[in-house]
Amino acid sequence: MDTTDTTKGSPSTDPTEVAMGLIVGAGDARSFCLEAITAAREGDFDEARDLLEKAVQAMVETHEVQTQLIRDEMTGTPSEVTLLMVHAQDHLNLAMITREIAEELIQVYERLSALEGKEHAPHCDDL
């Protein structure tokens, strides 16, 4: 998620653009997590891990924007708090929670697969 203003080459400070960037980045991360859960349910653990890594990458960029907003506020340059920004923060929080749940579900599906004897679950810790 890049909120860089391409005409100026610097990060956008427009509150609407920043909020929409957070929403898009968080939405991408959440979608990758849900796809990862589906892949794990179908027994495709390598694909599940790849999708989870894509989610992590989407979250890194999005979280960096959020961290900068917090830094700005702490140094005396707060962002305008709008309903859209609150909505964006909600999307970001939901994406972070979805990632944590996806990580757990992938492990559960790996263990279930190993217990059912369908295939060896390569990332399965002690059963």
Question: pLDDT digit string (tens) for 79-109?
Answer: 888 999 999 999 999 999 999 999 999 999 9
CB neighbour list of residue 66: distance below 8 Å, 6 or more residues apart: 22, 89, 92
Question: Would residue 5 count as lying in a domain?
Answer: no
H/E element, 84: helix 83-116
Structural domain boundaries enclosing 90: 13-116
In b/e form, how buried is each residue of 19-53, taking b as 16+ CB within 10 angstroms?
bbbbbbbbbbbbbbbebbbebbeebebeebbebbe
Question: Would residue 126 count as lying in a domain?
Answer: no
Question: Would residue 86 count as lying in a domain?
Answer: yes
pLDDT in tens, 19-73: 999 999 999 999 999 999 999 999 999 999 999 999 999 999 898 999 999 999 9
Question: Would residue 7 count as lying in a domain?
Answer: no
Beta bridge partners of 10: 5
| Active-site residue, 87 included | yes
> How many folded domains does the chain comprise?
1
* Candidate list 87, 91, 120, 123, residue with the active-site label: 87
Question: Would residue 39 count as lying in a domain?
Answer: yes
